[in-house]
Each structure stands twice: as C-alpha cells, then as structure tokens.
Amino acid sequence: MSNIDFAKVCMRFREKLSVTFIERIERRLGESWEKVLEEKPKDLLVAVLQDIRLYYVNPYEMILEMSELLKQTYGISCFSLSFSERYDFPISEKIEEASKIVNSFYEMTESLGFGQMFMRSTRRWWKYEF
C-alpha cells in the first residue's frame, strides 16, 4: 500500500468535512492541519478516519447491533428513537442505509491499508452466557 498518497486522501476528506470537524482533529493532535499534513500525512489520515468512525459510522453500527439484539433476544423487529412527544424517528426502517454506510467505511479503510486498525467486529456481546 506504499503507493497511497496519504496527503491527497486527507485533502479529499477535507473537502467534505466541516470546519468544526477539522478543528477538533487539530485540538486532539495539538498541531495545525497543514503542519501534520506536511510532516505526518499518514497520522493525519488515521486521525480523520478515527473521527469519521466515531461521529458518522459508529452511530449506524450501534443501530445495526441494536436491531440484531432486539430481534434475537426479545423478538422485537420495530424500534424508534423518540425525539419529542410528537416525533418518533423510525430507526428500524434505516437498517439498509446504515448497512451501506458501515460496509463502505470498512471497505474503504481496508483498501487504504488500515484493515487491522479499523476492524469490524463480528462478535456479539449479548450472546455470551453468564
């Protein structure tokens, strides 16, 4: 995977990410985006991917796991997140979309050579018996 231009990939993400997102990464790394991009582009890309996973991918993974858990353990296939007395978000209807996002994230990290660092779990924590 040595032919990957990490700096170029970082910039590809930067086009899509908000200023807040970039600033959060800079705070965490303790250096400016430009400086890390120049000196340690691979480290910068890892930080970007970590935050993308945390803020964009993990919530969808959680939904997928909850869907499995509720179905397998309690026989419940329909569930929603209630955000007000008048608004329920029917999250169980978003399973297909969630799968698409999660799958494409892990395919991308694998193709970038970070398969070991960003491993998708197949273990299910509710299946262990006490």
| Residues engaged in binding another protein (CB under 8 A) | 1, 3-4, 9, 12-13, 16, 28, 54-56, 58-66, 69-70, 74, 76-85, 88-92, 94, 97, 100-101, 104-105, 107-108, 110-112, 119-121, 123, 125-126, 128, 130
For residue 16, give the nearest of 95, 99, 108, 93 by alpha carbon.
Answer: 108
Measured from the CB atom, the residue of 35 and 127 that comes closer to another protein is 127
> End-to-end distance of the chain based on CA atoms, in angstroms?
43
* Contact between residue 96 and residue 64 where contact means Cβ atoms under 8 Å apart: no
In which residue are the tokens 């965490």 written? 28
**Residue 88, SS3 per DSSP:** strand
Taking the complex as a whole, how short is the minimal distance between the CB of residue 19 and another protein, in angstroms?
14
Taking the complex as a whole, how short is the minimal distance between the CB of residue 99 and another protein, in angstroms?
10
